[in-house]
Amino acid sequence: MSRFSRYALLSAACGFLASCSSVPQAHVKDTTRTFTTVVVDAGHGGKDNGAFRQYGGAEKSATLDVATRLARKLRESQFSTVMTRSSDVFVPLDERAAISNRQKNAIFVSVHFNDSRRRGIHGFETYYHSPVARNLAYRIQQHLVTMRGASNRGVKTANFRVLRKALYPAVLVECGFLSNRSEGAGARNASYRDELADKIAEAIVDERYGKGTYRAPQTASDSADSSGHTE
Ligand SMILES: [Zn+2]
Distance (Å) from CA 128 to ligand 1 centroid:
15
Distance (Å) from CA 222 to ligand 1 centroid:
35
Distance (Å) from CA 100 to ligand 1 centroid:
18
Local confidence band at 26 (pLDDT 50, 70, 90 cut-offs) = low
Phi, psi of 53, deg, nearest 5: -135, 150
Distance (Å) from CA 178 to ligand 1 centroid:
10
Residues 149/120, Cβ–Cβ less than 8 Å: no
Distance (Å) from CA 110 to ligand 1 centroid:
9
- Distance, CA of 167 to chain centre: 14
For the whole model, what pTM was predicted? Answer: 0.83
- Does residue 229 carry a pLDDT above 80? no
Q: Give burial (CB, 10 Å; 0-12/13-18/19+) of 98.
A: middle
Distance (Å) from CA 60 to ligand 1 centroid:
8
Domains of the chain with CATH codes: 34-210 (3.40.630.40)
CA nearest 139: which of 199, 217, 82? 199
Most confident of 57-61, 130-134, 212-216: 130-134
- Predicted confidence (pLDDT) per residue in 49-67, tens digit: 998 877 778 999 999 999 9
Average pLDDT over residues 2-18: 40
Distance (Å) from CA 78 to ligand 1 centroid:
28
Local confidence band at 11 (pLDDT 50, 70, 90 cut-offs) = very low
**pLDDT value for 55:** 79
- Predicted confidence (pLDDT) per residue in 137-184, tens digit: 999 999 999 999 999 999 999 999 999 999 999 999 999 999 999 999
